[in-house]
Structures are given as C-alpha cells and as structure tokens.
Amino acid sequence: MTTTLIWIAVALVAVGLYLSWTAGRLDRLHARIDAARAALDAQLLRRASVAQELATSGVLDPAASIVLYEAAHAARQAVEEQREVAESELSQALRAVFGEIQQVEAVREAPGGEEAAEELAQAVRRVPMARRFHNDAVRAARALRRHRKVRWFRLAGHAPFPMAFEMDDEPPAALADRAA
C-alpha cells in the first residue's frame, strides 16, 4: 500500500513538473512574441519616419513627395486594427516612388541624399526580417497552445491567442539592390 502511494506521488510530481516546464516554455514564447513585436514596431516606425523625412526634404518631385508623405503619415497614425493595411500601403507607395533606379540616383545626388537613401534602404530591408522573427515566434506559440495538455490544464492563462502580423513588405527593387 505504501509503495503504491509513493509511486502515485512520484507520478503526480513528475506530471506537475512537466506541466510547469510547459507553462514556463509557453511564457517564454509569449515574452519572445512581445519582444519581437516591439522590434517590429520600432522598425515600422523607423521606416515610416525615414520615408516621411525623405518626402519632406524636397529631393523628390512634388507628386512622389505627396504620395510618400501621405502613406508614411497614415502608417504612423494608424490604429492597431488598421496598422497592417497602412503599412502595406506604405510599402506600395515606396515601390511606386522608388521603382526605378533613376529615382534613387536622383535622391543620392541631392545634398544629404546619399545618407537618406542608405537609411531608407536599411529600413526597408529590416522590416521583413523583423516581421519574420515576430511571425516565427507566433507560429511556435500557436503550435504549443494547440496541444491538448495546454488547453486542458489552461497553461496559457489569460494570455490572448497570438496573432501574426501580415502585410506587404516587399521592398522596392531599386532600394533592395542598394541594401544588399
């Protein structure tokens, strides 16, 4: 009888340790999602700021400046529900303005344009990487949260189900070539 109780206690402790380890892993994944989201937000803000600065610098033609400024402003001011759409529209505006290498060369020839073009090229290169890191963390957390043990024992607590950030983040070809 005593041996049976000891084995039951050992089994309960083992199950408890395993569930505790799984809950800790899930918590670390949620922390990784938060950190990746903060990094993504920083890169999106940087890209919008650089685009807005470039649009107001006077080195672009007026039509391109207006298109780029409005898209960058909308991306910076977007509420969370509309953020993906606004960021996608900024990507489309960047591709429209910097679709041709001649436009990038015109920016580079202006005073201070070399630094501005380089900063924008770096910003448009970093956004897809930050989004990929965020979505990879979301994918890992979702996979773990789908396990029965996580659902049955409510190991996720009250944390919201993680959502991926889906947007058009393809950089303009002329800027992507410069960023490489």
Q: Is residue 159 part of a domain?
A: yes
- pLDDT at residue 11 above 80? yes
- Is 15 inside any structural domain? no
- Tell me what pLDDT residue 144 has: 94
93 falls within a domain: yes
Name the residue type at position 80: E
Q: Is 4 inside a domain boundary?
A: no
Residue 49's identity, in one-letter code, is: S
What is the C-alpha R_g of the chain?
24
- pLDDT at position 6: 94
Round the average pLDDT of the chain to a whole number and report it.
92
Structure tokens at 148: 């029965």
Distance CA 131, CA 168 (A): 10
The DSSP string of 50-81 is HHHHHHHTT-S-HHHHHHHHHHHHHHHH--GG
pLDDT tens digits, one per residue of 51-72: 999 999 888 889 999 999 999 9
Give the separation between CA 52 and CA 105, rounded to whole angstroms: 18
pLDDT interval class at 157 (50, 70, 90) = confident
For residue 112, pLDDT over 90 is answered with no
Q: Is residue 18 included in any domain, yes or no? A: no
Mutual angle of helices 2-56 and 83-97, in 10-degree steps:
40
Do the domain assignments include residue 8?
no
Per-residue pLDDT, averaged over 141-146, amounts to 94
Q: Give the pLDDT score at 178.
A: 53
How much of the chain is in helix, strand and coil states, percent to nearest 5?
80, 0, 20
- Domain range enclosing 66: 23-175
Number of domains composing the chain = 1
What 140-149 contacts at long range (C-beta under 8 Å, 24+ apart), as own/partner pairs, is 140/29, 140/32, 141/26, 141/29, 141/30, 141/32, 141/33, 144/22, 144/25, 144/26, 144/29, 145/26, 147/22, 149/19, 149/22
Contact 86/45 with Cβ under 8 angstroms?
no
Compute φ and ψ for 14, nearest 5 degrees: -65, -45
Band of residue 153 on the pLDDT scale cut at 50, 70, 90: very high
Query: Mean per-residue pLDDT for 3-18?
Result: 93
Give pLDDT, residue 177.
64
For residue 1, being part of any structural domain is answered with no
Within a domain: residue 44? Answer: yes
pLDDT of residue 110: 86
